Structure formats: C-alpha cells, structure tokens
Amino acid sequence: MFKRFKKQFPFIRLNPPQVLSIGFIVIIFLGSVLLSLPIASADGTGQPYLDALFMSASATCVTGLSVINTGEFYSFFGEIVLLLLVQIGGLGFMTMATLIALVFRRKITFRERLILQEAMNHNSTEGIVRLIRKVLYYSLIIELTGAILLAIRWSFELPFKTALYFGVFHSISIFNNAGFDLFSSLKDRPGSLMHYVDDPFVNIISILLIVLGGIGFIVISDLLTYRFNKKLSLHSKVVLSVSGILIAVGCLVIFVFEFTNTQSLQPLSPTGKILSSLFQSVSSRSAGLNTLDIGSLRQGTQFFIIIMMFIGASPGSSGGGIKVTTFAILVGAMIAMVRGKEDIVMFQRRIAGDRIYKAITFTMISFLIIVVFTMVLSTTENFSFLGILFEVTSAYATAGMSLGLTPQLTSFGKMLIILLMFIGRLGPVTLAFSLTITPEKDHYRYPEGKITIG
C-alpha cells in the first residue's frame, strides 16, 4: 500500500537537501512550542510565541542572538531545552538520528548516507558512517573535558552544583559555537564572558573549544591520525593555515584599533589586552561570545568584525559564514589572476574548476542576501545602518554577535532574522537545491564568447 502511495505521489521522495531543510524546520518548531510553555520561564508566565520561535531558531541554528536575557528569563527546564537545541543543531539532527540508529544496531541505508554526506558537507559517502561515529566520540570527549575544566575554575567562586552546571552548559554552547551564556543570572555580573576578560584560564579553554568546534570534524580526525600516517589532507592544510592567519591578523587589527579606546582595551593590563584581542579575533568568526563590550568598540573594529563574521568557520563544523576554504579559493584566484596563472595551486595541488565556481557562487549569493536583508531592515527598524549590517551579517553567518538591535526588533524584523539564521545554517546553495524538484542538465553548449573585463 505504501509503495502504491509513493507511486501516486512521487514528490514524497525528498532529496537530501530537502530532508535537511524540513528536519531543521521541524526541530525549530518543536523547540518553539517547548520554550513558549509557562514551565520554560523563570516566573512561570511563559513567552510570546514569536520570541520563543526566535530563540528556538537561534539555538537550533547555533547562532546565539537573543531577544531576551537568557540567564534571567528561562527556568532550568527552559535552559535545558535551549541546550538540547544547541546540541542537536550543532552536531546536526541527522548525526543525532544516526546515533540512535547505531545504538539500536539498525543498518544505515544508502539514501541516509547521502543525507549524512550533505549534512556533513563531505565529498563522498565513503566512510561517512565511520566519520559520524568519530564526530559523536570527539564531541563527547571535547565537551566533557571543557565542562570539567570550566567547572573546576568556577567552583572557586560559585557553589559546586552551580559551577558544574555552568561548566556543562557553557562547554556545549562554546564548542557548538552557539554563544549562549548564563552569567547574567548572577548578581552584578555582565553578560557573556566579560567578567573574565583578564582570566587566562577561562580565555584559553574557551578559545580552544571555539577553535575545535570551528575547524570541523574532518580536520580534527586528520589531526588525531597524523601521528600514524604523517599526512594531512589538502582540506585540513588549507583550513588550519587560513584559520591561523585569520586569527593572527584579527588579533593584531583589534589590538591596534582598540589600544587607546578607553571603553575597551585601554584600561586593561598588558595580559588583558592580548587575551581580549585574541579571544575576540577567534570568537568573531562564529562563536558569538565576547570579553569586550562590542557596542563600545570603534566603528572600524566593528566593521572588521563584520568581515570576519562573513568569512566564518570551516566546512563540516557548526560555524557559519562563507567558510575559510571558500575565502582561501577566492584569494587564490585573485593571486593567480594577478600573476597571470591559469590554475589556483595550494600546497602543490591544483584546485578543480567546479570548486572555484562553487566558491564564487556561494560568496555572491551570500553577499546579495546580506545586502537585500540590510536594505529591508534599514526601512523597518529604527537603528543605525552599521548596527543593522552588523546584525544581518551576524544572523546569516550564525555568529551571534550583536550591537544591541536584537531585543529592539519589530515583529517583522524578528521574522526576517529567523529566516536569515535558517538560511545561514543550511547554506543558500543547499536551500536552493531543496527548493528544486528536478535539477535540469544542459544537453548542448553554446559557442564561446568574450567580454571585456576591467
């Protein structure tokens, strides 16, 4: 009967991008229902549904933008729901579904492997289930280690149960690049990690969690097997080298631009200046946490952070943006063009033409999305242009940083930001494929033409 039903309704057969899109939508709506319940709020009054939908989307898309004060508003139940959404959104719902299938020893079908390939942004289905096992194992070990270390540090100033809970919550949130924090629930404490701007231990642990969550599980797997095979894939080499350069450049730019700013770096000790510059450089590309007041930074620094957010993290990670590999290909194309070379070469390997087209396409679509949404929100929201551009880029890149616009958004503005976070988490190309029922292939080629450039 079911086979006859599928024959009568062939559109029920969804392709992998469609499965991913619908899966994320279902999780977001389930989360919004739970967060809107009275039991989810600390005062028992509940939350307006649109705000609950916004928070559910922000958590599932591991963004971190918030229309309310997370630490003060939610009850323990609400915080756990938010944390579960972050974990599911960070690892991917298909990864979580695979975990359940593996626990019950159910066979992973080829179609499910295709969906996992799309979800992990992997090149092929070969070894995809083995990669998922590694993802789950690495995530558990890293999050558990981070939770223990942070709990030990915070146990010196907080009750043990609170320190342990804070350690678990923030380790998961930081590793998945979500950016949610609970410190505003403590009396006389600023939000995020601003209280620990001078604390080397909290800064270093947080930076390591952000980096490990942002470089992607393929790179982590390569690094762990390097001592056996003494080899790194081209992908890992590009991700590690470009990420290192971006972190160093970002740290230097923030340090130089903010060195004399009395509202950011100037009052800090030399150690605090270096730590906060490094932390903000690492966090800007996807994590959404801050040890400096982002609204107090100079406009030049804020615009630089917009660029960093646009570049984002690495493929196969929980971070957003156009990804560091895309940025590397664009820079490589520019260098090749200036030097008069036909091929983009990285680490003695030529980059395939389809990768270059995909990088250019993804960057242009991302740029156009940010431009259009910024123009629309500039007419509906009463905020500065730079603030709106900052918020839009942060939502699309799932970075989670804000100059204070999010709590002031109109209902229409909240809906647009929800849509942006969803597009940014899936990726515009994946979303476009999910809306395409049958991709068309050209059976012929037109004669070549020439256009003058420059």
pTM of the model: 0.87
Hey, is 78 helix, strand or coil?
helix
Residue 93: closest CA among 417, 446, 426, 342: 426
Q: What is the C-alpha to C-alpha distance for residues 400 and 338, in angstroms, rounded to an integer?
A: 36
Q: How far is CA 196 from CA 127, 151, 360, 425, 441, in A?
A: 41, 14, 40, 29, 55
List the domain range (segments joined by +) for residue 128.
15-434
pLDDT tens digit sequence for 135-190: 778 888 999 999 999 999 999 999 999 999 999 999 999 998 888 988 888 877 77
State which H helix or E strand residue 349 sits in: strand 349-350
Does a structural domain hold residue 440? no
State which H helix or E strand residue 350 sits in: strand 349-350
Residue 54: closest CA among 31, 77, 73: 31
State how many domains the chain has: 1
**How many residues are given for the chain?**
454
- Which stretches of 155-269 are DSSP H helices? 160-175, 200-215, 217-229, 234-258
Q: Output the six-digit token pair for 324.
A: 């560091």
Does a structural domain hold residue 251? yes
Pairing state between β 349-350 and 345-346: antiparallel
Q: What is the C-alpha to C-alpha distance for residues 374 and 368, in angstroms, rounded to an integer?
A: 10
Q: Output the six-digit token pair for 120.
A: 């992990």
Q: What is the C-alpha to C-alpha distance for residues 389 and 378, in angstroms, rounded to an integer?
A: 9
Q: What is the C-alpha to C-alpha distance for residues 188 and 186, in angstroms, rounded to an integer?
A: 6
Residues 6+ apart with CB under 8 A from 60: 24, 27, 28, 31, 85, 86, 88, 89, 425
pLDDT tens digit sequence for 264-274: 898 999 999 99
Q: What is the C-alpha to C-alpha distance for residues 332 and 64, in angstroms, rounded to an integer?
A: 32
Q: Scanning the structure block, which residue is given the tokens 């979800």?
A: 119
Local confidence pLDDT in tens for the 454 residues of the chain: 334 434 444 444 665 667 777 878 888 999 999 999 999 998 888 889 999 999 999 999 888 899 988 888 899 999 999 999 998 888 765 555 555 555 445 555 555 555 555 445 555 555 556 667 777 788 889 999 999 999 999 999 999 999 999 999 999 999 988 889 888 888 777 778 888 998 999 999 999 999 998 888 778 888 888 888 888 888 889 999 999 999 999 999 999 999 999 988 989 999 999 999 999 999 998 888 889 989 899 999 999 999 999 999 888 777 888 899 999 999 999 998 888 888 888 888 888 888 888 888 889 999 999 999 999 999 999 899 999 999 999 999 988 888 888 889 999 999 999 999 998 888 765 655 544 555 566 677 778 777 766 6
Residues 6+ apart with CB under 8 A from 59: 31, 82, 85, 86, 89, 178, 180
Hey, is 41 helix, strand or coil?
strand
Q: What is the C-alpha to C-alpha distance for residues 211 and 257, in angstroms, rounded to an integer?
A: 23
Does a structural domain hold residue 452? no
Does a structural domain hold residue 442? no
Is there a contact between 15 and 434 (Cβ–Cβ < 8 Å)? yes
Does a structural domain hold residue 190? yes
Q: Which residues pair with 4 in a beta bridge?
A: none
The counts of H helices and E strands in the chain are 19, 2
Does a structural domain hold residue 10? no
Does a structural domain hold residue 178? yes
- Which stretches of 339-410 are DSSP H helices? 353-380, 385-396
Does a structural domain hold residue 359? yes
